């Protein structure tokens, strides 16, 4: 299902060269982001035509918490926002450089980027706050040709995904603890869907129940090209 927000229809996107496009890969834990990310990279490299330059930033380059010196450190909101702005500025600088080079070899000189958990994840984390501070960042991503793919799973697959990822913990949990973990996972997934309605970035939801990562990557690339 493709979401187009009411806000998006009112936006007059300012062209800034058109030499860049990319996907923001979103979704809660166990949705298959890492597997889909690997498939996206593989399929783009194998394509006969398209951008020769690829920028892929996993969530390690944009997440709120980081393991530093063996200790889990959480960034304050303003500090984290500066981090996100720096990542977007990097893409803007690359785009400005390719625009400066001119139209020769246009398609090959473009940049294809993939960002993991870059905006919806933070909308969910700060869902109780005024999220206008993220709006400007999302506008800049939109101008860089960004679209979003929200990976999801069905409730019937929740226990399987958690068990596959954390088999030792799953074995120790009681039936009530397992049920609670699955329930909270689905609640968080719904929060992602709610935030999709509030962002200006066009989004497609991709259900990954079948774990066919190449198929999902192809669907996402087709959505990006549409």
Q: How many CA atoms lie within 13 A of 161 on its CB side?
A: 22
Q: What pLDDT is attached to residue 109?
A: 65
Q: What pLDDT is attached to residue 77?
A: 78
Q: What pLDDT is attached to residue 127?
A: 75
Region 10-19 average pLDDT: 41
Are the beta carbons of 1 and 195 closer than 8 angstroms?
no
Give residue 111's Cα distance to chain centre: 17
**Span between the terminal Cα atoms of the chain, in Å:** 14
7: confidence class by pLDDT, cuts 50, 70, 90: very low
Give residue 132's Cα distance to chain centre: 19
Average per-residue pLDDT for the chain? 84
Question: Which runs of E-coded beta strand occur in the chain?
Answer: 2-3, 20-26, 53-57, 65-68, 71-74, 111-116, 146-152, 203-207
Q: How many CA atoms lie within 13 A of 118 on its CB side?
A: 30
pLDDT tens for 68-111 read 777 777 777 788 888 899 999 999 999 888 878 766 655 566 78
pLDDT tens for 152-194 read 999 999 999 999 988 899 999 999 999 999 999 999 999 999 9
Q: What is the pTM of this model?
A: 0.84
Handedness of CA 64, 218, 190, 175 (dihedral sign): negative
- The more confident residue out of 176 and 15 is 176
Return the SS3 of 161.
Answer: helix
Q: What pLDDT is attached to residue 66?
A: 67
Q: What pLDDT is attached to residue 189?
A: 94
Q: Which tokens is 66 given?
A: 């980081």
Q: What pLDDT is attached to residue 9?
A: 29
Q: What pLDDT is attached to residue 15?
A: 34
- Domains, the chain: 2-225 (3.40.50.300)
Q: Is the pLDDT of residue 36 over 60?
A: yes
Q: Is the pLDDT of residue 124 over 50?
A: yes
Are the beta carbons of 211 and 35 closer than 8 angstroms?
yes
Q: What pLDDT is attached to residue 105?
A: 53
Q: What pLDDT is attached to residue 83?
A: 86
Q: What pLDDT is attached to residue 50?
A: 67
Query: How far is residue 213's CA from residue 226's CA, in Å, rounded to a whole number?
Result: 20
Q: What pLDDT is attached to residue 111?
A: 85
């Amino acid at each position: 299902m493709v979401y187009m927000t009411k806000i998006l229809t009112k936006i007059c996107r300012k062209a800034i060269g058109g030499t860049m496009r990319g996907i923001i890969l979103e979704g809660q834990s166990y949705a298959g982001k890492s597997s889909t990310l690997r498939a996206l990279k593989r399929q783009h490299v194998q394509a006969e035509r398209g951008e020769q330059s690829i920028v892929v930033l996993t969530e390690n380059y944009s997440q709120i918490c980081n393991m530093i010196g063996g200790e889990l450190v959480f960034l304050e909101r303003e500090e984290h926002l500066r981090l996100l702005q720096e990542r977007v500025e990097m893409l803007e600088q690359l785009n400005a450089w390719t625009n400066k080079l001119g139209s020769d070899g246009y398609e090959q000189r473009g940049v294809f980027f993939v960002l993991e958990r870059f905006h919806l994840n933070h909308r969910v984390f700060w869902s109780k706050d005024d999220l206008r501070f993220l709006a400007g960042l999302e506008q800049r991503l939109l101008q860089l040709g960004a679209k979003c793919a929200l990976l999801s799973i069905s409730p019937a697959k929740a226990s399987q995904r958690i068990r596959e990822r954390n088999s030792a913990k799953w074995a120790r949990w009681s039936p009530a603890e397992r049920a609670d973990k699955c329930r909270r996972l689905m609640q968080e997934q719904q929060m992602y869907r709610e935030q999709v309605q509030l962002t200006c970035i066009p989004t497609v939801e991709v259900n990954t129940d079948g774990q066919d990562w190449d198929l999902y990557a192809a669907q996402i690339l087709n959505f990006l090209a549409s």
